[in-house]
Amino acid sequence: MDTATKIGLAALLLATIGALDFLVIRAVSRRWGGHSQGLNRRLQAIAARRSTPNDHLFKEEHNPTGGLATWLAARMPGLEGVQKLLIRAGSVQTASHVLNLTLGAATVLGLVSYFASHSFLLATAAAMLSIGVPLLRLKGLAAKRRRMFTDQLPDALDFMSRALRAGHSLSIAIGMVADELPDPIGHEFRLVFDEVNFGISFQDALIKMPQRIDSSDLGFFVVAVLIQRETGGNLSDLLHGLAGTVRERLKLQGRVRVLSSEGKYSGVMLGALPFLMAAALSAINPKYMDVLWHTPKGNHLVYGGLFAMAIGFAWMWKITQIRV
């Protein structure tokens, strides 16, 4: 098997791995990642968030898969961060369950890659990719959920402001937001409302919200409400003003996103261009590209170019990420 065939097989295997990982995460999210709808599901969510991290992550009786992955999860650093990422993505899975899936996928795909290409390096890359893709997918889901929550937050603040002016208490206003607004903000406010009704202090229930949704705007809301409860003041006007501030920040973020999109798409095009040119030249004149595939110096140039492209792409992506 020549080098060009091996490279094509490796690209096909990596694409297959990415597709399989995407399908696995999508299927698991649909099966276990739905929001709590009934009272029993909400009680379980509240109980899970009141328990200690180790109880929630690694108890055998709550993890039917168990086995080696659970034993590793209990001793592996960083799994609490994975569980926090799952909660922010809107999933009710445990970190040990995700570890079971990723370890199984890494083992199977690594073995398939090795037997197909007889390359230990390719098998290792396939195994690492099968572990990294689900985490990146969860990060994407968490970021999407955070954006949806932030977009809904000004309407929720205005809703509470009007409810307070009508004479309702803050807890009742939060319950009304939970009933009237869609997920994810309706789900999160429903959790706060249920926690208060089930005996948790209002302050503790409110403080837990930014832990589930990593939003600075939500943090402003929580701090403003807690300070107002200590010092007094007109909470209705405070929430109305905060809603206007959040809307202005969202408008500014939209402008920044539009202005930085040119740099992002330039990075994508520059990163894809060498691969497109290599494919075109290989199809037009294969002998012209044989120097890269069949000589040690050509292979070194390919590896060096890929490394430099990765650094440049990461650098360009970083400088276009402007925080508002």
- Which is more confidently placed, 267 or 47? 267
Average pLDDT over every residue of 153-167: 90
Is residue 139, in this structure, part of any structural domain at all? Answer: no
Q: Is the peptide bond before 182 cis (omega within 30 degrees of 0)?
A: no
pLDDT tens for 48-72 read 444 444 434 434 434 444 445 455 5
Is residue 203, in this structure, part of any structural domain at all? Answer: yes
Rounded to two decimals, what is the model's pTM?
A: 0.62
The token pair at 294 is 């069949």
251 with 324, same domain?
Answer: yes
The token pair at 160 is 């509470």
From the list 324, 149, 145, 159, the residue with the least C-alpha distance to 251 is 324
Quickly state the pLDDT bin for 275 (edges 50, 70, 90).
confident
From the list 35, 52, 291, the residue with the least C-alpha distance to 187 is 35
Whole-number pLDDT of residue 18: 61
- Work out the percent of the chain whose per-residue pLDDT is above 90: 2
- Among residues 190, 215, 244, the one where a domain terminates is 244
232 with 161, same domain?
Answer: yes
151 with 233, same domain?
Answer: yes
- Among residues 218, 244, 270, the one where a domain terminates is 244
- Among residues 215, 244, 273, the one where a domain terminates is 244
Residue 194's CATH number:
1.20.81
Average pLDDT over every residue of 191-200: 87
Whole-number pLDDT of residue 39: 46
CB 92 within 8 A of CB 33: yes
Whole-number pLDDT of residue 24: 61
Quickly state the pLDDT bin for 196 (edges 50, 70, 90).
confident
> What is the rounded average pLDDT for all residues in the chain?
75
Lowest-confidence pick of 24-28, 58-62, 274-278, 312-316: 58-62
> Which pairs count as long-range contacts for 32-39, CB under 8 Å and 24+ apart, including other chains?
32/91, 32/92, 32/93, 32/97, 33/89, 33/90, 33/91, 33/92, 33/93, 34/92, 35/90, 35/183, 35/184, 35/187, 36/92, 36/187
Is residue 180, in this structure, part of any structural domain at all? Answer: yes
198 with 238, same domain?
Answer: yes
Is residue 272, in this structure, part of any structural domain at all? Answer: yes
What's CA 34's distance to the chain center, in Å? 15
pLDDT tens for 15-52 read 666 666 656 655 655 554 444 444 445 544 544 444 44
> Which pairs count as long-range contacts for 197-203, CB under 8 Å and 24+ apart, including other chains?
198/43, 198/46, 200/46, 200/50, 202/170, 202/171, 202/229, 203/229
249 with 229, same domain?
Answer: no
195 with 223, same domain?
Answer: yes
- Work out the percent of the chain whose per-residue pLDDT is above 70: 73
Q: Which domain holds residue 193?
A: 147-244
171 with 192, same domain?
Answer: yes
Whole-number pLDDT of residue 324: 64
289 with 228, same domain?
Answer: no
Is 88 strand, coil or helix?
A: helix
Whole-number pLDDT of residue 50: 46
Whole-number pLDDT of residue 56: 41
Overall number of domains in the chain: 2
Whole-number pLDDT of residue 52: 40
